[in-house]
Amino acid sequence: MAITASMVKELRERTGLPMMECKKALSAADGDIEKAIEDLRKASGLKAAKKAGRTAADGVVAAKVAEDGSFGVLVEVNSETDFVARDENFQAFVAKVVEKAFADRQQDIAALMEGELETAREALVQKIGENIGVRRVELVEAPVVGAYVHSNNRIAALVALSGGEVELAKDVAMHVTAVNPQVNKPEDMPAEVLEKEKEIIKAQPDMEGKPAEIVEKMMGGRIKKFLKENSLVEQPFVKNPDVSIGKLVKDAGADVVSFVRYEVGEGIEKEEVDFAAEVAAQVKSSS
């Protein structure tokens, strides 16, 4: 597979490694960026790379929580461009979606969009000229629910606690938007993720030639560190790094039940268009 400049650029941005090293890794991985990152981690002890910014859609996220903190909803509504995401008509549609999901306690998108909301969406598409879609809706119910929406309306989180106050849940939700933990507690980490991490640790240069028992001991320490860094309750609270999220919540007589975090467009691949080639093709077809 041909290695393009854009592929090298993405790998360099995600790993911080020199360009030639990135190009060599991509060639060895036949252009597979994720495999190249895994190989680089095995070979050099590289820390986890940044996530790919694959956003096929723009738009906003929004949330609403009941006054008594007993439940809340989180939604993502997509547009094709940031320009439309800031449009007041689009924002008004998002508000309608949130209100309907909240009023009906609804997280089934098909059921949510039946009737007036779908009519409003179609009218907005006609008016704006871009595709508009409700991508995700999450309903969270618990003794205490808190929400935090980042100021750019592109990242938001809902947190469910077993007790405490709504303001505490909101603080934890703010932490979730900022730090992006993988799981709530260490025991929640999927087995396949742990196995992959163990493979990477075992393949790192400083493990070579060491006795099996030493490797296991070193790996145990690194896995423990990995779980601490990626589990919400183990992470230092962003507003007070001397206190973990788990202790912060425990001191309030509660526990973190669950959390959900939305970031606009995460996980959607964006088709890259070569504008010059597209124009050339259009000119050729019209001649």
Residue pLDDT, tens place only, 94-119? 999 999 999 999 999 989 988 899 99
Local confidence band at 38 (pLDDT 50, 70, 90 cut-offs): confident
Burial of 152 (0-12, 13-18, 19+ CB in 10 A): exposed
Indicate where the chain has its CATH 1.10.8.10 domain(s). 1-52
Whose structure tokens read 């990242």?
Answer: 155
Indicate where the chain has its CATH 3.30.479.20 domain(s). 58-183+252-263
DSSP one-letter code for 65: E
| Average pLDDT taken over every residue of the chain | 86
Q: What is the CATH number of domain 1-52?
A: 1.10.8.10
Q: How many residues does the chain have?
A: 287
CA angle, 133 as apex, 127 and 137 as ends, to 5°? Answer: 140
Lowest mean pLDDT among 145-159, 172-186, 195-209, 232-246: 195-209
Please tell me whether residue 126 adopts helix, strand or coil conformation: helix
| CATH 3.30.479.20 correct for 58-183+252-263 | yes
- What share of the chain in percent tops pLDDT 70? 88
Which pLDDT belongs to residue 281? Answer: 53
Which pLDDT belongs to residue 169? Answer: 97
- Helix-helix angle 19-28:33-44, to 10 degrees: 110
Full-model pTM: 0.72
